[in-house]
Amino acid sequence: MDNHYEMGLDALQQKLLLMASHVETGVNQALEALLQRDYALARRVKESDRVVDHFEVEIDELVIQLLTKAPLATNLRLVTAAMKIAQNLERIGDEASKIAKHAGELAQEPPVRIHLDLPGLAGLVLEMLKGALDAFVHRDSATARAVIPRDRQVDALNQEIHRQLVQQMMADPQTIGRCLHMMVVSKSLERIGDHATNLAEDVVYLCEAQDIRHTGAKGPALV
Amino acid sequence: MPDISLPKIVPTEQKTGEPAGRQPLITVDQLSLYYGASKALKNISLSLGERVVTAFIGPSGCGKSTLLRCLNRMNDLIDNVRIEGAVKIGGHDIYSPEVDVIELRKRVGMVFQKSNPFPKSIFENVAYGLRLHGVKNKSTLETAVEESLRNAALWDEVKDRLHASALGLSGGQQQRLCIARAIAIKPEIILMDEPASALDPIATARVEELILELKKDFTIVIVTHNMQQAARISDYTAFFYIGELVEFDGTTKIFTNPARKQTEDYVTGRFG
């Protein structure tokens, strides 16, 4: 039924999807800037974060408008989940911006001769983000649940990169500055994994009305 | 005070899975009600807990007010009504022939949609039920009237004009006076049929606050068309549709994640 309230909910959903699309593009471009050492692209990503911030404000306004009409059942879950999803997306946008900033710095300095699996970490994180967003679009809680345990892989890979960078800094103090940039990038990717996990948990709540945060009931352990 | 002819409430064993609150005080068992040939309630079974607020919701004509009126046999006053099944309060069938209906209605009070104060003073409105039940002592009456008006959150507004006409009160005050009148005779259960639907938001908030206070001492069943009101004040919610009980569960469950699609569609405004 196309009543005014449903139209408001549709507008909220569309805005969230648009915001998610901007955020996903931002993360992808930040990583491209890092891997391709593309200073100009890194700057563009940083500047585009304002768009994401603006989306968050707009979504919060819409959520408050919809809450004044006292939604119930799935409508209530969508409206409350939307606020949390927008917040997580905004933070992912911030991390993309941070990656872009450090990518820009690294692009202006000579590369460090070290084999780090930053592309692998980036790939994992992007898959998590895509999985969480697809789960939201399709209201698919199984896909959302599948995202959550992958965060442990991300954490492990981040720790491994951290360990390698510490070794590199001890072996060649000339590279400390650049290694610190890479450490921040790796940590940012790990944080994006955390936010993607939060998004997936919000989608599970939206679909199942079940709050799985902090319950240990998030999904199967990784082998 | 005359003896109450119904036995004292005996807690019955709570059935597994039924959201009856602390103890099931009211048990409706396979209840059907007919207006002539038309079946207005269809095999309703549910248990309502003691000292909790239960809301009945559903679109107009779904049978929620009819069921409410079954709980103190108000439907007896309507011609051509026939019921099947049982309504038990404290385990005793209120439709059994030996039940004194006047005494039943003393135990199960009612507040209606439209406030209906008697054209008497504020004091006499509250004292009316007590006088009817034989209370004559002036100081007993005064104490009971004050206590009831305090419990109905009306005392401070009317204490200086107790002998003025009740008809001079505002709509919200009149409704709280009716609640004071209902609780003066110390019922165990108060039935409320859309008690705030004719009130402005401030008067509605007062009545809702009052209901939350009253549930410390009384078991309350309320019929409401206002979903948000049900969400604000009730512990349990029963959703009815075309004479059937579709879903009965904790209010939070009903309003965040109802099990039945019909309930979901109704509470989200897709029909009704």
pLDDT of residue B272: 59
Distance CA B272, CA B266 (A): 6
Residue A54 lies in a domain: yes
Is B2 part of a structural domain of the chain?
no
Domain with B204, as residue range(s), is 24-267
pLDDT number for residue A187 = 98
Q: Distance (Å, rounded) from C-alpha A125 to C-alpha A132?
A: 11
CA distance A79 to chain B (A): 12
For chain B, give the mean pLDDT.
89
Task: State the Cα–Cα distance between residues A100 and A28, nearest whole angstrom.
Answer: 10
Whether B197 and B226 have beta carbons less than 8 Å apart is answered as: yes
Is the Cβ of B252 closer than 8 Å to some Cβ of chain A? no
Whether residue B43 is contained in a domain is answered as yes
Residue partners of B184: CB distance under 8 A and separation at least 6: B126, B127, B129, B130, B144, B145, B148
Among B13-17, B195-199, B234-238, where is mean pLDDT lowest? B13-17
- Distance (Å, rounded) from C-alpha A174 to C-alpha A195? 34
B18 within a domain of the structure (yes/no): no
For position A125, what pLDDT does the model report? Answer: 96
Nearest to B228 among A70, A77, A208 (CB): A70
Residue B15, pLDDT > 90, answer no
Residue B4 lies in a domain: no
* Cβ contacts of A5 on chain B, cutoff 8 Å: 269
- Which residues of B, range 179-198, sit inside 8 Å of A by Cβ? none
Q: Note whether residue B12 is domain-resident.
A: no
pLDDT of residue B9: 36
pTM of the model: 0.81
Number of domains in chain B: 1
The verdict on a CB contact (< 8 Å) between A74 and B268 is: yes
Say what the pLDDT of residue B269 is: 87
User: Which CATH number do you get for residue B154?
Assistant: 3.40.50.300
Q: What is the CATH number of the domain that holds A90?
A: 1.20.58.220
Residue B226 maps to a domain: yes
User: Which residues 195-234 on chain B approach chain A with CB closer than 8 angstroms?
Assistant: 227-228, 231
Of A73, A208, A209, the CB nearest to B268: A73
Three-state secondary structure call for residue B155 = helix
A73 contacts B257? CB cut-off 8 A:
yes
Residue B59 in 3-state DSSP?
A: coil
Q: Is the dihedral of CA B97, B98, B102, B104 positive or negative?
A: negative
Task: Answer yes or no: do B256 and A76 touch at CB < 8 A.
Answer: yes
pLDDT of residue A219: 52
Stretches in chain A below the pLDDT threshold 70: 1-2, 216-223
Q: Residue B19 falls within a domain, yes or no? A: no
Measure CB to CB from residue A73 to each of B228, B255, B271 and give the nearest one: B255
Q: Is the ipTM of this complex over 0.85?
A: no
Is A67 an 8 Å CB contact of chain B? no
Has residue A213 been placed in a domain? no
Of B228, B231, B264, which is closest to A74 when you measure between CB atoms? B264
Cross-chain residue pair A73–B267, CB shorter than 8 Å: yes
Q: Do B231 and A72 touch (CB under 8 A)?
A: yes
Domain containing residue A46? 4-208
Query: Is residue A25 in some structural domain?
Result: yes
Q: Which of A17-21, B6-10, B177-181, B217-221 has the lowest mean pLDDT?
A: B6-10
Q: In this predicted structure, what is the pLDDT of residue B23?
A: 67
In total, how many domains does chain A have? 1
Phi, psi (degrees; rounded to nearest 5) at B118:
-75, 155
Residue B143 above 50 pLDDT?
A: yes
Q: Could you report the per-residue pLDDT of A148-173, keeping only the tens digit for each?
A: 999 999 999 999 999 999 999 999 99
Residue B156 within any structural domain of the chain: yes
Report the pLDDT value the prediction gives residue B16, as an integer from 0 to 100: 34
Is residue B66 within 8 Å of residue B56, measured between CB atoms? no
